[in-house]
Amino acid sequence: MSSTNLLGVPETLLPADPAVTADLETLSLAEVVVAHPTSSLAWALLSDEASARGADLEAYAYARVGYHRGLDALRGAGWRGQGPVPWSHEPNRGVLRSLFALRRGAAAIGETAEVERLGTFLADADPAASQAIEAEEAGRR
């Protein structure tokens, strides 16, 4: 349990999805999303791709789908709206990336209140997630 988990709520650890991971190595992102429409990771990566080419509205929409798919996955794993979702557990990264991408997309379209809400949600899930994602994005530039 994390030292910042003051509520004592157990961590939510999503199951691995090796089929998505394998398909990400061989298919386009659009093909991965079609093959695995419940994968928040696939939607988050599609959002990243759209954002990188300046398609802010598309990026926001893809991230929104990834966010909702991620909430479904978290709830299916026992999450009840609060508690840690650690970045260190690789299968959680799709949900966290979707939160990050949705916050970025919300900022791009001027949804200030949503940016703040998502920032809080992401920090509550794992305070290290945003920094880790930003570092990965900087490494890709």
pLDDT digits (tens, 9 = 90+) for 4-63: 555 688 999 999 999 999 999 999 999 999 999 999 999 999 999 999 999 999 999 999
Residues 128 and 131: their CA atoms lie apart, in Å, by 6
Judge residue 78's burial from the number of C-beta atoms within 10 Å of its C-beta, 0-12 exposed, 13-18 middle, 19 or more buried.
exposed
Judge residue 121's burial from the number of C-beta atoms within 10 Å of its C-beta, 0-12 exposed, 13-18 middle, 19 or more buried.
middle
Instruction: Please give the structure tokens belonging to residue 69.
Output: 């798919």
Residues 88 and 1: their CA atoms lie apart, in Å, by 12
Domain ranges of the chain: 18-140
